[in-house]
Structure 1
């Protein structure tokens, strides 16, 4: 029949295995205990890392598009990035099914390993503009990783690219914002807040209005990710310390209160 799939292929593999490296991917799961719940924790951790990588790549693309004044394509890519964040956030729905006793059955296998040591997550934070040079330190003894993390730390963020775009279009963005140490934490400025508020005057259909809304959608999605992370950890380990030496939920609560693209949030008070 014409609609039958191809079932026979020359060679030792199939095109799908070769294209996606499926055999390699599925060989990378190595839980360290016999605890029934550890595979869930282990595989979801790897899924998150893949999504961090995807999201980092998408945001680097957005940054390049903004540098090239291609706002329409940047907005399109930001909308896709928001969907990736939503998928990432839903991993906590699965991990939240782990009872405290299930997690405790394999927690000691983690040793001092902790999610904050994820270098892809750190690079994601950096491209979003949350620059903290101290958080690059765990990677300094892994040469190829250290190089990537330092490059992300020193590079402009998506938000930097957006502010330079506004400046090119006539917004009064101060030099103190445009020319600064990109590896240092970003400090909010009233002039930037005013500039974003001005973008809302034209309304839907204006490309910088659409950019503002696409950026805030990413910022909101990322905050949802952090908040659900906090709730999931609090549900599973309560007030215990984190495996990497952090204070656990207290550490995550402080992170959940942080807002990326800060003036996009505060500008709403001017409208």
Structure 2
């Protein structure tokens, strides 16, 4: 019998979403791919919440509610920080294990994550809050919150680069980019046009 908790969170649906392509007859590889999928799906859920709060921050800022905007930005920062630490989960996936099921991804890549592309592009934008960042007082809580958020993104990008280096080395990314060289060029705010790809570990 389904509990109210499971019903509220739609757990039966949620827990059916992890569908490895590895045959069940290869249990070790199946478990590794299941882990990989779980980590990435949970990251996408966290990113979706970061976008919700980023929208709220912009709405508050445009309405002149700077305290509320700063609160919302700090929550986005907390989510990005969790996403950075979240990457360490993949340190528990050995490169050889990843290589065993990587062909099953075909052309799928984290580079194609529209949520991460949107999140990081908007955070880097000079007018994230509906007005130029240099128009905000230097020591204002809203400015401080914005700087902290951008710093969190750089830390995510750096941690992601190190992860990719460990997982695939100098191999090309599954999304068709040059891999590490592409990611190194992206650790810069604001990013240059066309460099919104989330990454190459997937």
- TM-score, length basis structure 1: 0.64
One of 99, 116, 129 as aligned partner of 2:111: 116
Residue aligning to 2:181: 250
Q: Check 1:158–1:48 CA distance in 2 against 1; reply closer, same or farther (3 A cut).
A: farther
Within a 5 Å distance, the mapping from 1:110-149 to structure 2 comes to 110-129=105-124
Offset of residue 31 of structure 1: 0.7
What is the DSSP-based 3-state SS (H/G/I as helix, E as strand, rest coil) of the residue aligned with 2:20? coil
CA-atom RMSD in angstroms: 1.9
What is the DSSP-based 3-state SS (H/G/I as helix, E as strand, rest coil) of the residue aligned with 2:42? helix
**Quick check: 1:161 aligned with 2:92?**
no
Offset of residue 46 of structure 1: 0.1
Q: For each residue in 1:209-249, what CA deviation from the matched residue of structure 2 results, as whole angstroms up to 9, or x when unmatched?
A: 11111000100001111110100000111000000101111
Greater Rg, structure 1 or structure 2? 1
Residue aligning to 1:215: 146
**Quick check: 1:64 aligned with 2:33?**
no
Residue aligning to 1:170: none
One of 159, 162, 172 as aligned partner of 1:228: 159
Q: Check 1:158–1:15 CA distance in 2 against 1; reply closer, same or farther (3 A cut).
A: farther
CA distance in 1, matches of 2:127, 2:12: 35
One of 10, 13, 18 as aligned partner of 1:29: 18
CA distance in 1, matches of 2:61, 2:129: 10
Residue aligning to 2:198: none
Offset of residue 162 of structure 1: 4.0
Offset of residue 123 of structure 1: 2.1
Offset of residue 126 of structure 1: 3.5
Residue aligning to 2:90: 95
Residue aligning to 2:189: 259
Offset of residue 255 of structure 1: 1.1
Offset of residue 260 of structure 1: 3.9
Residue aligning to 1:265: none
CA distance in 1, matches of 2:131, 2:80: 20
Q: Check 1:78–1:238 CA distance in 2 against 1; reply closer, same or farther (3 A cut).
A: same
CA distance in 2, matches of 1:15, 1:242: 43
Q: Check 1:81–1:160 CA distance in 2 against 1; reply closer, same or farther (3 A cut).
A: closer
- TM-score, length basis structure 2: 0.85
CA distance in 2, matches of 1:24, 1:93: 26
